[in-house]
Amino acid sequence: MSSWFYVRDGQREGPVKREQLDALVAEGVVRGDTLVWRAGMTSWARASEMSELGMPPPPPPPPLPPPLPVADAPGEGAWQGPEAPSSEGWTRAEDPAGASAAAGGAVLAGTLATFWSRFLAKLVDVMLLAGIGQGVEWGVSRWVFEGPLPVPPDWAGFFRAALWMVSINTLVAMVYTVYFLSRYEATPGKLLLGLRVVRADGHRLGLWRSLGRFWAERVTGLTFFVGYVMAAFDEEKRALHDFIANTRVVRGARRED
């Protein structure tokens, strides 16, 4: 018996067996306009279009509102806001006209950042953190070691100093990343390049997801850059930590929240 997937609140759910799907239909979780998929289908389809589910067609949509004045209409490719769901999904930056469908096609409209814009933003952040790290090393050496940092053959002092440096620099990087992502949706490097980090549905990360993404990037750092290079080949330009934290990097300022 085929397993089914369905889209709920912009997220892909499943797999579920047919009898479970029928129960979801009875509960009103899966409706006629819900996107569903099973093995053998070439694309997602509305539940009402699947004759085997026996669902009535959805009611016709309400009439469209009158058009906006030209001066107030959002520009082409502009961010539509988190309350404007789109079946087109995220749009790749190098191909604004051709959208890539994501997780059932129920995420919000936006322009995905390119691999190279992400690379340059990361380079800026690395340089800034390196400068901050130099200042931290100088301060720790004066405060803890009362002079220059120990070096071999003082191996005990050397490893103690290394532990201090790694711990403090990790703390500095965490505060730097979490503060800017949760408050501004971007680190200074990404702000400079006009990029933002958002959830898959286009909403802000918040404190805890920003913290989770920071530690997810530590995992990416253990892959000898392979986790970063993934963004060059993924359709939604996701690095490994974006997969783990379920985030996207997009271009342009947020119009509304």
Q: Does this model's pTM top 0.85?
A: no
C-alpha 245/C-alpha 243 separation (Å) is 6
User: Looking at residue 178, what is its pLDDT?
Assistant: 94
User: Looking at residue 146, what is its pLDDT?
Assistant: 65
One-letter amino acid at 8 equals R
C-alpha 239/C-alpha 226 separation (Å) is 9
User: Looking at residue 137, what is its pLDDT?
Assistant: 73
Check the CA dihedral 105-79-123-98 and report its sign.
positive
Burial 30-47 (b: 16+ CB within 10 A, else e): bebebbbbbeeeeebebb
User: Looking at residue 181, what is its pLDDT?
Assistant: 94
**Which regions of the chain are under pLDDT 50?**
71-88, 92-109, 257
Burial label, 109 (beta-carbon count in 10 A; 0-12, 13-18, 19+): buried
User: Looking at residue 104, what is its pLDDT?
Assistant: 38
Residue 195 has phi, psi (to 5 degrees) of: -105, 155
